[in-house]
Every structure is written in structure tokens, then in C-alpha cells.
Amino acid sequence: MTTNVTSEVRASYAYKTATNRLGLWLFLLSDSFVFGGLLVSRFYLLGNTRPHLDQTLGLIVTAMLLVSSFFMNRAETAIAHGDEKTFLRGTLITLVLGVAFLLGVVGVEWRLAPFGPADDVVGAVFYMMTGMHAFHVLTGVIFLGIVYRNGRKGLYSAEKHWQVEAAAVYWHFVDVVWIFFYPALYLIGTVAG
């Protein structure tokens, strides 16, 4: 596959970006083992029961995260076509929705939940899973903040926007994780208690 690549090609932005892309995907593969381990722990410890949570709130935060991924995709496609305005708007909306998700989970759901992390194993699992996911959302938000700042400075172009792509892929990954976590915490099984 790369056995006859010249040094000019290797030094090119496109070749380096492809290398970076492989690195990012491997990182996500690695990270998915953390979330896999958390899902296994959830089913091992809680089995067919689930925590007592606010269903409406769960639906709202989930919807916000899914919609944010749509805008992130729009932002990335826009910069790939050189449309800076749509790119910046999409990034900003994603960022705002991400912060809203964080506030919804950590700010509201953690307060509303009728149990604390130290009460019993249901609480432990719930706070660990949402906490680990929220930590990833937070890093994604920071990443988006950097991308937005650099985007406003005009550092990205249709040809060179690896940071945007990386932020988008990471954001989608965090979103996909939630697609597994949401049913595992809110939908599957009967309410514990």
C-alpha cells in the first residue's frame, strides 16, 4: 500500500493527514474499550434493572446531542467546500448544544436523581457512566472551542482543515457512545428500587 511512496509525497499535507487520520481512528478504537468496559460493568452489576431517572430530561439531552452531530457534519462539509461562514455557524451551534448537554446531565440530571454516587451500586454505575461520558463531551467542547477560534482567524481552508475533521470525528464518536449509553441507562430493564 505505501511501499513505493516518494519522499515528496510523504512530506505532503495529504499524506500526513492520512497518517493522522489513522492515528485518530486507532485512538477511538482504544477509547471504545473504556466505554465497552463500562457497559459490561453496568450489565454485570445491575443486570435487568436500571436507575430511576427523569425520562423527559433524558430524551431532551439525547436529542440535543444527536442534533449537534448534524451541525458538526454540516460544519465540516462546509469547510471542505471553502464555505467559512456555514462552517463557523455549524461549529458554534455544535459547541452550544454540547455545553447544553453537559448542563443537562451534570447540572440537572445529577441533581434530580434520587440517589447519590455513594448510596448503592446503581448510583455508582450511573455516575461513573455519565461522568466518563461527560468528561469526553467536555474535552470535545474544548476541542471545538479551539477549532472555532482558529476558524475565526482563518487558519482553515478547503484543502487544509485536519483539525476540523478531527474534532468532527471525535464529536461523532462521543455521540455514538451516548447512543449505547442512553438505552443502557434509561430504557433497558425495570427500574431498580
Partner 1 sequence: MSATKRVNIFSLSLVRGIVFQILGTLVGIGVVTLIRLLMGLPAWKAEPAGVFGAFLGVLFFLVGAGTIRDWYKMALGEPVSDHHAADPEQPGWAKYFNISYDHKVIGIQYGVTSVVVMLLAGSFALIFRAELARAGLQLIELDMFNTLVGLHGIVMIASILLGVGAMSNYLVPLLIGASDMAFPRLNAFAYWVNVPGALLVVSSLFLGGFDTGWTGYPPLSARAPLGMQMFFLGVYFIGLSSILGSLNLIVTVIRMRAPGMSYFRMPIFVWAAVATSIIGLTATQLIGLSFQMVMFQRLFGMGFFDPAKGGNVILFQHLFWFYSHPAVYVFILPGLGIISELLPVFVRKPLFGYKWIAMSSLGIALVGFFVWAHHMFTAGMEEYLRVPFMYSTLLVAVPTGVKFFSWVGTMWRGRMSFETPMLFTLGAVSIFLLGGLTGPPNATVATDLHLQDSYWIVGHFHATMFGGFVFPWFAAIYYWFPKFTGKMYNEKLGKLHFWLMFPAFYLMSLGQMRVGLLGMRRRIADYDPALGFDNTQTLVTIAGYVIAFSVLLFLFNLVRSIRSGEVAVANPWNSRSPEFQLPSPIPEHNYAEHPFVVVGEPYDYGLADAEYVRFGAASEPAAAD
User: For the chain, how many helices (H) and strands (E)?
Assistant: 7, 2
Q: Is the torsion defined by CA of 56, 62, 65, 66 positive or negative?
A: negative
Asked if residues 156 and 163 have their Cβ atoms less than 8 Å apart, the reply is yes
CB of 33 to partner 1, least distance (A): 4
Q: Smaller CB distance to partner 1: residue 70 or 162?
A: 162
Q: Is the torsion defined by CA of 184, 185, 190, 193 positive or negative?
A: positive
Residue 85 is a binding residue for partner 1 (CB under 8 A): no
Q: CA angle, 15 as apex, 155 and 73 as ends, to 5°? A: 55
CB of 163 to partner 1, least distance (A): 8
Using the rule CB under 8 A, give the single segment among 68-76, 79-87, 123-131, 177-185 that binds partner 1.
Answer: 123-131
Residue 150 is a binding residue for partner 1 (CB under 8 A): yes
Residue 59 is a binding residue for partner 1 (CB under 8 A): no
Among 34, 112, 179, 191, binds partner 1 (CB under 8 A): 34
Number of residues that bind partner 1 (CB under 8 A): 45
Question: Of 55, 37, 36, whose CA–CA distance to 185 is shortest?
Answer: 55
Residue 3 is a binding residue for partner 1 (CB under 8 A): yes
Distance CA 158, CA 146 (A): 18
Collapsing DSSP states into helix, strand and coil, what is residue 49? strand
For residue 108 the three cell numbers come to 440537572
CB of 143 to partner 1, least distance (A): 9
Binding positions for partner 1, rule: CB under 8 A: 1-8, 10-11, 15-16, 18-20, 22-23, 26-27, 29-31, 33-34, 37-38, 40-41, 44-45, 117-125, 127-128, 146, 150, 153, 155
